[in-house]
Amino acid sequence: MEEWINAFLKRLENKNFSLHTIRAYQTDLQEFLAFFKARKQNDLKYFTSANIRSFLAALQTHADPARNTVLRKIASLRSFAAFLLAQDKLERNPFKLLPVPKRQKLLPKFLSLTETDRLLDTAAHSKHFAARDKALFELMYSSGLRRSEVTGLRIKDVDYFNGLVKVFGKGAKERLVPVTDEALNALKIYLAQRKNPQPDDALFLNKNGKPLTGDGLAYIFKNTAIRSHLARKVTPHSLRHSFATHLLNNGCDLRSLQEMLGHKSLAATQVYTHVSLEKLKSVYNHAHPESKENL
């Protein structure tokens, strides 16, 4: 089984899946492998519906994972099963008759305009990397890019004349996303401080002059969020959620937002309409004299 897990992960790498996604698959499949090794069943013939149920039951016994965490593990195993079926290594699909719990619908957590401004201002006053961090956070907020998309950018991907950035999203799918003048000006200032930058160079570098990684971005973001003294926990994805919510609240249509976010389906984008409705209800309850909040 271990040999085929490695082959599956290699296939994901060849298909240009993000490092973050590959790591998630690897973690889930290694946990699955360890479970079967402990039972001395390290063979594909044991990859059955019954044994998958045993694995999921063991997860609940030793921990209390969130429903979406369990669903992610199921998705990892499902993709692995599909890979094995394509290689004729399984006689039947172990997930065909396996019931899957529904995904827990959580509203995206986003920052208010005031909180966003505070975060961007803190980034702009970074002690050692103010120019880089200002450009980094302005770009993230103005474009709604994923973490892997930001770190994958090259200098040549920024179109200053048309105010666009070329992004390679999930599955190496290319899209063009508008960028604000504020972000473009911050990028110009940052790149002016770089030594002989070339078009194919990474857009953002770490303190050692190497391309910024996803983990490096998460570290920068964590420190900036702490220095911003925000009352809530924020992550790099918080800016993506904030970008989407703020655009929708100011009249952006769903189709345009879908294109900018790089969502495959409109259903993935529609979650932000629920966020906007929650905000609308909150404003209504606070403002209407006969609402429960004002009685």
Which residue numbers are catalytic? 146, 170, 237, 240, 263, 272
In angstroms, the CA 47 to CA 93 distance is: 9
Question: How much of the chain is helix, strand and coil, in % rounded to 5?
Answer: 60, 5, 35
In angstroms, the CA 233 to CA 227 distance is: 12
In 3-state terms, what secondary structure has residue 211?
Answer: strand
Please give the full DSSP string across 123-145, using - where no structure is assigned. HHT-TTTHHHHHHHHHHHHHH--
Question: 119, 111 in Cβ contact below 8 A?
Answer: yes
Whole-number CA gyration radius for the chain: 22
Pairing of strands 174-178, 164-168: antiparallel
